[in-house]
Amino acid sequence: MTKQKSTTIHDIADALGINSSTVSRALNDHPKVSEKTKKKVREMATQLNYRPNVLASNLRTSRSGTIGVIVPFISRYFFSTVIAGIEEEAHKAGYNVLISQSKDRLELEKKNIKTMMDSRVEGILISPALEGTDGQHIQEALDHGVPVFFFDRYHEGIETTKVLMNDRSTAKALGQHLLQEGGTHFLLLTGQMDSSIYRDRAAGIKDALESTGRDWATQVTSQKIPLTVEGGIEAVENSLKKGEVFDVVYAMNDLAAIGAVQALLKAGKKIPEDYMVVGFSNEPTSELIHPSITTVNQSAWTMGKTVTRKLVEQLKDKELSVASETTILKSELVIRTSSSKRNLER
């Protein structure tokens, strides 16, 4: 099957017997072209099913009309919700969105940055990969005049705009809730502690313990694990086999918390009577399983809209140096069955 040739401005010019530069100016509503000629050109363009080559136009004006977005995993509920907010705000401002995922691998993130630079994106929004702390590739993009803004995670030492969550203060509130429910010894299932989000989620628990005179060293055991369902299962099974003392499992995301619940139930334990389990990020499944999991609801959609709005403002004023400001968004506790010990007594 022969592919149909696209109509060009030269085809319109030939059909009307005028030069192609006049056609181009007419299609762009140039004031030096008469309304009569503009009308003829538009009618012929419609008749010939002409479609402008947006890419070529953007290349001529050094604009791509595109914002790049890099997330660790598109499939994660939190990041897919952030992307929804980014797309809504970007499309409203007339930008397309190019999305890629790093799978939390540094080398893949570097390739994503290069691909986006080669694609002439006007700006990049990124939640950095957990693997490694090397942000040189991000700094190089900034040095080339491409604004790169962080959301959710960030690299220390890179001066640029960040939109983050109040993970530490919310984790403190979560810790205080667990102490009020009678929790005494915590098993923390952490991710890469090089990452600011996991440091903050651990620090919040420490704040809660210290605010009530408890001792972190004797009341907390930590395991760095893959924050997956499988990781949560394996970690809790290992702790039970070792006879470690804990009555609270604090997983730093909901997937690991779900794994913890499965491991405890399989071992014949009751939740929350024997063990309380909490997570982070309010994945939809955390409410659907039994018992439902206490977690933290984050403003992912608002985060996407906020960081995009700030980038668009930057792109509209090229005379400005890249902004360097930090916005902290609020999250909230979602108390469910897995930590509601006191409700059992009522």
CATH number of the domain enclosing 176: 3.40.50.2300
Q: What is the distance between the alpha carbons of residues 232 and 275, in angstroms, rounded to a whole number?
A: 14
Same-domain check for residues 246 and 138:
no
Read off the pLDDT of residues 86-141 as tens digits, 9 standing for 90 and up: 999 999 999 999 999 999 999 999 999 999 999 899 999 999 998 877 788 999 99
Q: Which residues of the chain have pLDDT under 70?
A: 1-5, 52-63, 318-323, 342-346
Inside any domain, residue 264: yes
Inside any domain, residue 106: yes
Read off the pLDDT of residues 235-245 as tens digits, 9 standing for 90 and up: 999 999 999 99
Inside any domain, residue 61: no
Read off the pLDDT of residues 46-74 as tens digits, 9 standing for 90 and up: 888 887 655 455 544 456 799 999 999 99
pTM, full prediction: 0.77
pLDDT at 332: 93
Q: What is the distance between the alpha carbons of residues 36 and 26, in angstroms, rounded to a whole number?
A: 10
Same-domain check for residues 281 and 321:
no
Same-domain check for residues 78 and 143:
yes
Same-domain check for residues 146 and 159:
yes
Residue 149 half-sphere exposure toward CB, CA atoms < 13 A: 31
Q: Are 191 and 252 in contact (CB under 8 A)?
A: yes
Same-domain check for residues 207 and 156:
no
pLDDT at 156: 85
Q: How many angstroms from the chain centroid is the CA of residue 39?
A: 46
Number of folded domains in the chain?
Answer: 3
Q: What b/e string do you get for 102-126 counting C-beta neighbours within 10 Å, with b at 16 or more?
A: bebbbebbbebbeebbeebbbbbbb
Same-domain check for residues 157 and 104:
yes
Same-domain check for residues 214 and 293:
yes
pLDDT at 59: 46
Among residues 305, 334, 333, which one has the least CA distance to residue 125?
305
Inside any domain, residue 161: yes
Same-domain check for residues 209 and 251:
yes
Range of the domain at 48: 9-52
